[in-house]
């Protein structure tokens, strides 16, 4: 069975998630934006064997700890979509601008595209490309536990900002309605910031996507 725990990191309280197999303890970490000491403490406390880093998009609060973590533990970096390469290359500058600890760019071991899958032990998660907030944003979906890790595409009661370079509101709405909603109303999503919700609840009550 797949399990997960979400740990808010960085001054932006970004929801980094640990995902693991409860038998083998094999684990992946989604969006290690910073506070690596806290994250590695949780890995140790949970008795996990961290094997992979999965990245939803190249924003500093999601990706700034990636290079250091990958180097420290010799982990592969999987994702995001190549559309976010310019964000990853700008991580050093973004970290300085937002008052984060020094950060480095990195080269993903594997870029992701819509329809790809990632695997953790015997578990498979689906990858959907969800541009709009950033052009290379991806989300990770586990049909097995009916959970989607959606980064900054959708939040409980809100949606991702689209006023960054290469952001696009229409693309974001299309990503939400065409790539998230088909995962089902009962699917719980873990957003990049704030509390979890379900797609069904957002379709009913989120003012940005209500009735879509």
Give the interface with Zn ion as residue ranges (CB under 5 A): 59, 61, 152, 192
Which is nearer to Zn ion, 58 or 199 (by Cβ)? 58
Question: Least distance in Å: CB of 31 to Zn ion?
Answer: 8
Burial of 37-70, coded b for 16+ CB within 10 Å and e otherwise, reads eebbeebeeeebebbbbbbbbbbbbbbbbbbbbb
User: For residues 137 and 147, which CB has a smaller minimum distance to Zn ion in the complex?
Assistant: 137
Question: Any idea how long the chain is?
Answer: 212
Residue 26 beta carbon to Zn ion: minimum distance, rounded to whole angstroms = 26
97 by DSSP, 3-state: which?
helix
Closer to Zn ion by Cβ: residue 21 or 35? 35
Nearer to Zn ion, 2 or 88 (CB): 88
CA distance 33 to 15: 9
Instruction: Label the pairing between strands 197-198 and 158-159.
Output: unpaired
CB of 160 to Zn ion, least distance (A): 6
87 to 70, 94, 107, 111, 122: CA distances (angstroms): 18, 9, 12, 14, 32
- Do residues 19 and 44 make contact, with C-beta atoms less than 8 angstroms apart? no
Distance of closest approach, residue 179 Cβ to Zn ion, in angstroms: 17
Nearer to Zn ion, 161 or 201 (CB): 161
Taking Cα atoms as reference points, which of 16, 17, 86, 98 lies closest to residue 60? 98
């Amino acid at each position: 069975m797949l399990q997960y725990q979400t740990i808010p990191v960085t001054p932006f309280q970004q929801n980094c998630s640990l995902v693991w197999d409860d038998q083998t303890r094999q684990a992946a970490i989604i969006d290690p934006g910073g506070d690596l000491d806290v994250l590695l403490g949780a890995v140790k406390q949970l008795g996990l064997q961290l094997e992979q880093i999965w990245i939803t998009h190249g924003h500093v609060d999601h990706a700034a700890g990636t290079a250091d973590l990958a180097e420290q533990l010799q982990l592969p970096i999987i994702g995001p979509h190549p559309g976010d390469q310019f964000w990853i290359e700008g991580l050093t500058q973004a970290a300085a601008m937002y008052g984060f600890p020094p950060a480095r760019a990195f080269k993903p071991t594997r870029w992701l595209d819509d329809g790809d899958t990632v695997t953790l032990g015997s578990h498979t998660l689906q990858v959907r490309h969800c541009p709009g907030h950033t052009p290379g944003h991806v989300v990770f979906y586990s049909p097995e536990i009916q959970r989607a890790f959606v980064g900054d595409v959708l939040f409980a009661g809100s949606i991702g900002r689209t006023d960054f370079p290469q952001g696009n509101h229409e693309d974001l709405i299309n990503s939400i309605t065409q790539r998230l909603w088909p995962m089902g109303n009962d699917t719980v999503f873990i957003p990049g910031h704030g509390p979890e919700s379900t797609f069904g609840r957002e379709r009913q009550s989120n003012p940005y996507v209500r009735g879509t």
